Amino acid sequence: VITDSAKDEL
Amino acid sequence: MNIFRLAGDMTHLISVLVLLLKIYATKSCSGISLKTQELYAMVFLARYLDLFSDFISLYNTVMKLVFIGSSLAIVWCMRYHRVVRRSYDRELDTFRYWILVGACFTLALVLHEKFSFQEVFWAFSIYLEAVAILPQLVLLQRSGNVDNLTGQYVFFLGAYRAFYILNWIYRYLTEPRFTRWISCVSGLVQTALYADFFYYYFISWKNNAKLQLPA
């Protein structure tokens, strides 16, 4: 599922 | 994605590649702290719980797999590879890191963005990564002279989070609702822990001398 979750960083 | 974050991820990747090169090329892990490697494996496993549930981008997924895979491979190598494990400085790598793990998990239970399983483990991984380098820095001080690849590994590992700090500043200035205090404060602490290492690394580079950390 594609989300723009705030956790887009590694 | 901005240039600072890309530079940070690439620097982090380089640090992993340098460590793999050192272990593979020299068939030795002398000077490397198994405890720091185990802490990093915990960091990645706790942080990337969303690996299969949230798809952000191919890049994001591939990098998560690379970091989880490499950290587990290095831990396996240092524990079980019949040649590499013989060069592990077992008697010098004695940092009792379960205290760090317990403290970080307790802090994550108190301080997190949302009280959910994934978010608590995410905060735990952020706090744990900030202190994960401590066993390695202690081992470097105890083991005296540091071989070049190990020094470069620690240098790149420290530099990557410094790039991330620039990334957070950039995002704070360009994105209206960007606030990520947990990452920022932990990232500052993490980078600060490298301060003395960076100083001695710079001195050794300037004098073209072996890297020596004072005991």
CB A10 within 8 A of CB B184: no
**SS3 readout for B156-174:** HHHHHHHHHHHHHHHHHHH
CA angle B69, B70, B73 (to 5 degrees): 85
Find, in chain A, the residue whose alpha carbon is nearest to that of B13. A10
pLDDT (tens digit per residue) in B64-109: 999 999 999 999 999 999 999 999 999 999 999 999 999 999 999 9
Find, in chain A, the residue whose alpha carbon is nearest to that of B113. A6
Report the number of secondary-structure helices (H) and strands (E) in chain A. Answer: 0, 0
Count of domains forming chain B: 1
pLDDT (tens digit per residue) in B135-182: 999 999 999 879 999 999 999 999 999 999 999 999 999 998 888 999
> Is residue B214 domain-resident?
no
> Using 50, 70 and 90 to split pLDDT, how confident is the model at A4?
very low
Point out the residue among A1, A6, A8 whose CB comes nearest to the CB of B60. Answer: A8
To the nearest whole number, what is the mean pLDDT of chain B? 96
| Res A3: pLDDT | 47
> Is residue B89 domain-resident?
yes
| Res B124: pLDDT | 98
d(CA B145, CA B151): 10
> Is residue B61 domain-resident?
yes
Q: Are strands B145-146 and B211-212 parallel, antiparallel or unpaired?
A: antiparallel
> Considering only CA atoms, which of B192, B41, B6, B5 is closest in space to residue B125?
B41
Point out the residue among B54, B64, B180 whose CB comes nearest to the CB of A10. Answer: B64
What are the residues facing B116 on neighbouring strands?
A: none
> Is residue B19 domain-resident?
yes
Point out the residue among A5, A6, A9 whose CB comes nearest to the CB of B5. Answer: A9
User: How distant is the Cα of A3 from the closest Cα of chain B, in angstroms?
Assistant: 6
> Is residue B78 domain-resident?
yes
User: Residue B125's domain spans which residues?
Assistant: 3-207
Percent of chain B with pLDDT over 70: 100
Residues 1-10 of A with CB under 8 A from B: 1-10
> Is residue B215 domain-resident?
no
The better pLDDT of the pair A6, B116 is held by: B116
> Using 50, 70 and 90 to split pLDDT, how confident is the model at B130?
very high
> Is residue B147 domain-resident?
yes
> Is residue B129 domain-resident?
yes
| Res A6: pLDDT | 65
Q: Do B54 and A10 touch (CB under 8 A)?
A: no
